[in-house]
């Protein structure tokens, strides 16, 4: 029975992460630098930094912190390297976070959330040397990474006790791609079940509150892993509490569609327009990077 359960979990993780894993095998832009934001025992967790041309430490730029998907079990910070490079070309400082994965013994979704928050606090704490405005840091992510980005604004009770809890994890805005927000589909529940105290504990939907950051959700209409109705429910709850949350549906597209061309660029264009609206991107920089590279 134990073997069967392990096989089932492996299958679920493969379903959740395989499009991203395949995409990660392709050539991706390299970050400007990699820094360690946290150590747990012998494990060092990195944050990848993508800097704009002409970056200086005394700048006061806007920023975005990305979290990769992979069912909390797999994935790599290069998942959002294309988006990070393009947003850096438009003047933002972009980050992509490595976090502990549940494929390692003893790691749970709670640890993923703790690492996500530690990374965001690291960026905000180091804002001055990173050349960014600490009040203009957005967050984004896909699938499980979308869950972690949303957790920054919702799951207040889950923190690494080693963090400085006085440093806020509330982003200036959220850019979410097929995010896992209610965790009620069979695939989501199976993926979070090992070690999680309860679905409600780690479900952003259950903890939405007033003051939620402005949010855009880019979602496949045909997603069966994270049904689009779940993010529409999330958006409705945010709006009911006075917030701004827009869901953009893509007809006939399944989970993780945003990793494939041309959707990686179509979704990025939507994200850029949203970030412009939030005054996190300058419209004057639009000429530099809104379109996909030649291919």
Q: Which two tokens stand for residue 10?
A: 């492996």
Burial class (CB in 10 A: 0-12, 13-18, 19+), 201: middle
At 286, is the pLDDT very low, low, confident or very high (cuts 50, 70, 90)? low
CB 69 within 8 A of CB 145: yes
Domains parsed from the chain with CATH numbers: 2-284 (3.40.50.1820)
Statement: residue 86 has pLDDT above 90: yes
Query: Exposed, middle or buried by CB within 10 Å (0-12, 13-18, 19+), for 261?
Result: exposed
Cα-based distances in Å from 87 to 9, 137, 224: 35, 13, 29
Identify the pLDDT of residue 198.
85
Share of the chain residues as helix, strand and coil, in percent rounded to the nearest 5: 40, 20, 40
pTM listed for this prediction: 0.89
Quote the DSSP letter at residue 294. Answer: P
Query: What whole-number percentage of the chain has pLDDT above 90?
Result: 81
| pLDDT, tens digit, 9 for 90 and up, residues 31-71 | 999 999 999 999 999 999 999 999 999 999 999 999 999 99
Q: How many CB atoms lie within 10 A of CB 176?
A: 29
Please state the φ and ψ torsions of residue 49, each to the nearest 5 degrees.
Answer: -120, 130
Q: What single string gives the DSSP state of each residue in 51-113?
A: PPTT--TT--EEEEEEE--STTTS--GGGGHHHHHHHHHTT-EEEEE----TTSTT--HHHHH
DSSP state of 166: T
Q: Parallel, antiparallel, or unpaired: how do β-strands 215-220 and 61-67 relate?
A: unpaired
Q: What is the mean pLDDT of residues 226-236?
A: 97
**Are the C-beta atoms of residues 80 and 98 closer than 8 Å to each other?**
no
pLDDT > 50? residue 3? no
Residues in a beta bridge with 141: 67, 176
């Amino acid at each position: 029975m134990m073997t069967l359960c392990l096989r089932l979990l492996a299958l679920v993780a493969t379903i959740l992460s395989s499009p991203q894993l395949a995409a990660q095998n392709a050539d991706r832009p390299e970050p400007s630098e990699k820094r360690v934001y946290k150590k747990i025992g012998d494990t060092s967790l990195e944050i990848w930094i993508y800097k704009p041309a002409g970056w200086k430490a005394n700048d006061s730029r806007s920023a975005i912190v990305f979290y990769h998907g992979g069912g909390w079990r797999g994935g790599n910070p290069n998942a959002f390297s294309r988006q990070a490079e393009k947003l850096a070309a438009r003047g933002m400082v972009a980050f992509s976070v490595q976090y502990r994965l549940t494929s390692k013994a003893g790691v749970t979704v709670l640890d993923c959330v703790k690492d996500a928050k530690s990374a965001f606090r690291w960026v905000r704490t180091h804002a001055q040397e990173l050349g960014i405005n600490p009040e203009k840091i957005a967050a984004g992510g896909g699938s499980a990474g979308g869950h972690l980005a949303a957790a920054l604004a919702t799951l207040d009770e889950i923190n690494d006790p080693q963090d400085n809890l006085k440093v806020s994890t509330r982003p200036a805005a959220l850019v979410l791609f097929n995010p896992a927000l209610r965790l009620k589909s069979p695939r989501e529940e199976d993926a979070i079940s090992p070690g999680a105290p309860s679905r409600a504990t780690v479900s952003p939907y259950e903890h939405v509150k007033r003051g939620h950051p402005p949010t855009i959700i880019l979602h496949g209409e045909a997603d069966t892993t994270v049904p689009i109705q779940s993010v529409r429910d999330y958006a409705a709850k945010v709006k009911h509490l006075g917030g701004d949350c827009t869901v953009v549906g893509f007809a006939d597209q399944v989970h993780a569609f945003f990793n494939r061309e041309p959707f990686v660029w179509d979704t990025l264009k939507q994200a850029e327009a949203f970030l412009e609206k939030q005054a996190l991107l300058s419209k004057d920089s639009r000429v530099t990077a809104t379109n996909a590279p030649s291919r």
